[in-house]
Amino acid sequence: MNRKQTPDIMGSLLTDKPKKKPAPKPKEQTKTNREEALVQTPPKLDKTKATFYISNQLLTNLENLWLDLRRENLKYSKGDIVEVGLEIALKNKNQLIKKLRD
């Protein structure tokens, strides 16, 4: 019977010096569509996390609006929706004060 000898893996690990692997060749740099989109997108302003209490009904309305936008393939975050809503409210200061007094 002519059988191949099983290599002595443990023996070679303990006695041989580790072989240096050749440095990987740098990949050719090509921009993907996502990278191109990121380059073309204007930089966003720095943001800070803020936590506020809102009514359950308002939260439900926010969730429904967010879902409606996603169904229309408009993928905005809830934070984006709240931010735009606050900007509108702050521009209409008199109307905001009137609503707060009600």
73, pLDDT greater than 70? yes
Q: Would you tell me how many other CB atoms lie within 10 Å of the CB of residue 82?
A: 15
Domain-located, residue 68: yes
Domain-located, residue 45: no
Domain-located, residue 77: yes
Average pLDDT of the chain is 81
Domain-located, residue 67: yes
pLDDT recorded at residue 19: 62
Domain-located, residue 97: yes
Give me the domain span that covers residue 82: 53-102
What is the total count of domains within the chain?
A: 1
For residues 34-48, average pLDDT = 64
For residues 66-74, average pLDDT = 94
31, pLDDT greater than 60? no
Query: What are 76's two structure tokens?
Result: 């905005």
Kindly report whether the global pTM for this prediction surpasses the value 0.75: no
Domain-located, residue 88: yes
Query: Residue 80, class by beta-carbon neighbours within 10 Å (0-12 exposed, 13-18 middle, 19+ buried)?
Result: middle
Domain-located, residue 11: no
